Each structure stands twice: as C-alpha cells, then as structure tokens.
Structure 1
Amino acid sequence: MPNPNDTTSRRAEYAQRTRQAILDAARELFVEKGYFGTKVEEIARHARVAPATVYAVGGGKHGLLRTLIESGTNTDEVALVMTRLRQITDPAELVRFIVRATREQFELWAGLMRQVVAAAPQEPTVREIQEIAHASMRHGLAVTARRLGQLGALRDGVDDDRATDLLWLYLCNAAYFVRTDDLGWSLDESEAWLNETLPQALLRDGFGGPGPSR
C-alpha cells in the first residue's frame, strides 16, 4: 500500500517549491518594474502558476513584498552577523566588521530596497514593510553601539544611543544610495571611506579614533 506519509511529504515539497517560485518571480519583477509596475498576473506567469495561487500562497503583491523583506531579516547570515557582533573584542575590528556586513547586505538587497523606497511615499502598506527593514537594521547597529560601549571605546559625549544614531547616519540604505547613486562611488570606495571616517566619529583615541586635539 502507498505510504500516506510519502504523499504528504510530496505535497509539502511541491507547496514549498511553488511558494519559492512565486517569491523568486515577485522579487525579479519588483526589481525590474517596480512595485506599482508589477502585476499579480505577471508574477503568476513567471512562476507558472494561476493568479489565484499567487493570492492564496503569497497574499498578493503586498504579502509577497513583506515576505521577501522579512525573509531577508531572518537569514542564517544575519544570525551569524549578530553572533559575531557580540564576540568581537577589538573596537576597530568591530567597526570594520559592521561596515563590511552592511555593505554585503546592501549588495544583496539594494535592487529591491530601491523599489521599496520609491513606492513607500505613495503606499502605506509599503511604508510598513520599509519600517520592518529599518527596524532590523537599526537593531544590528544598536547591538554594535552597545558592544562598543561595553568595550569602553566610545568617544566622550557619545553614549550608546548617540552611537546608534551615528552608525545609522553612515550605514543605513539611504546613506549607501547617496554614495552609490548620487555620488557614483563604488562600494570599494564607500567601504574604504567608512573605515576611515567611522572610527573618527565613534571611537576615542587609542581605539582607532582621532588623536588629541592640537
């Protein structure tokens, strides 16, 4: 007799493949055409499913975009970054690490986040999704700031909250878009500049920050 567990397993596998195909199609089209320029019917065609399946599995465009952004905040790579932030004991190394981590995340997500930024002013549900991405990134920057504070490396007058604000000012997506899109900097140039500038903004002398005033 057929094993009912095998049938259940095959159905679950098919459902997962279908869901992933829909998410992949949605991400590709959002990046290519923008949120408003993408139609559910196009997502369905690219994923080779019926439009009703897109709504049933993904909740339409809003649900798909939300799932894509939330998935980006819960990856194994993000978990490893958070663990490493709490382990590093050298403040200058910690700053270099968060610079590299945000650069790598920007490389992965810039295409989609550019479309989120473009759509957010006109669509409240997209603004909510943008806030999810912002909250995740700010949490990582706050962990970095607290770690620098624990190591006694922050400049006088810079507490954990101020350090979080400074990290956000330099490392949020909007800051990366200014450097890459508006100024035309390569990501290598951006990373080199951040590694030179951030320690001066955050760290006291002896930890990679500026020396005493002359």
Structure 2
Amino acid sequence: MPLFSAFLSIYIVIVISNLGLILVIRTDTRLSTPMYSFLRNLAFVDFCYNSVIKPKMLSNFLYQRNVVSFHACAAQLGCFLNFMVSECLLLVSMAHDRYMAICDPLVYMVRMSPGLCTQLVAIPYGYSSWMALFHTTLTFHLCYCCSNIINHFYCDDMPLLRFTCSDTHSKELCLLICAGITFLSSVLIVFVS
C-alpha cells in the first residue's frame, strides 16, 4: 500500500498541475502567445503520457493482479510511443520559438504567426502518431510463442521482443533508424535555429 499511496499522490499532482496549467492558459487572454500555446500543448502531452501508464500501474499495486490483455498492451504501447515522441518534438518546437523570441524580438510576432504555431504543433503530433502506429503494428504482427509474462509495469517494445519466435532484426533496425532520425533531426533543428 505505501507504493500505491506514493504513486497515487504523484499522479494526482501531475494531473492537477497539468490540467490547471491548461485551464489557466486557455482562460487568460494575456497568455494568448505562441510560447503559452506550446506550453499548453506540452502540458497536455505530459498529462496524456502519464495517464497511459499510471492508472494501470496503480490498479496493479492496489489489486496485486498484474494482468493486461494483448490488445490493451498494444494500445498502451502505441499511446506511450505517441506521447513520448510528441513530447520530444514539442520541446524542439518550443526551442525554436524561444530562439525566435530572443534573437529577433521585433519581428517575432510576425514570423511566429498563428499558422506557423499550428504547424509547429501539428507536425510533432502527426509524426509521432505515424511513428507510434508504425512501431506498434510492427511489434504486434510478430509471432509470440514464449512466456507471456513480462516483468515490467507497462508494455514496452524491447521486453516484448524477447518473447517472439520471429526474427526481430528488421524490427530492431527499423526502431534504431526511426529513433536515430527523430533524435538527429531534433538536435539538428535546435542547432540550426
């Protein structure tokens, strides 16, 4: 029960702080700037990111029953990957936004138009959704024949690959290439801007 109480407290703080931040930014018209738009989206992604894993983890602690169905595992993995990549790419968009605000403050509001801000938010969401769907589909189209017990508190890609009878080389290579492209493009965008 102490683990349940600790993680429940952490989860409640995360939910209240992120939803509170979203509400304040949404209701206060003085915060209708690109920076706060990005911050609102980052708070939303952080809320979703934590809500994918924590509720199931809390139920496992409470009921001492660590069971998740195959389809629920696929959904959890897909959502986890989606929000993880979204968070990374939104931070890149925020870095570009701050660079523009610091280096060109006089033309900042002209260059960071609502259309560009929408694109800088939509691209991370779109790319991360595609990436999550791609990797989840690749992972769950493999043939699983070994034990179905994973010693983790959520469904993750790499532990699942240990239980497959299929050749995982191409899946691991795809994962490495996509993660590398995402990482290198993020770093490159931050350094170029």
| Both proteins in one fold, TM over 0.5 | no
Whose RCO is larger (CA < 8 A, sep 6+)?
A: 2
Larger Rg: 1
Query: What TM-score, normalized by structure 1, do the two folds share?
Result: 0.29
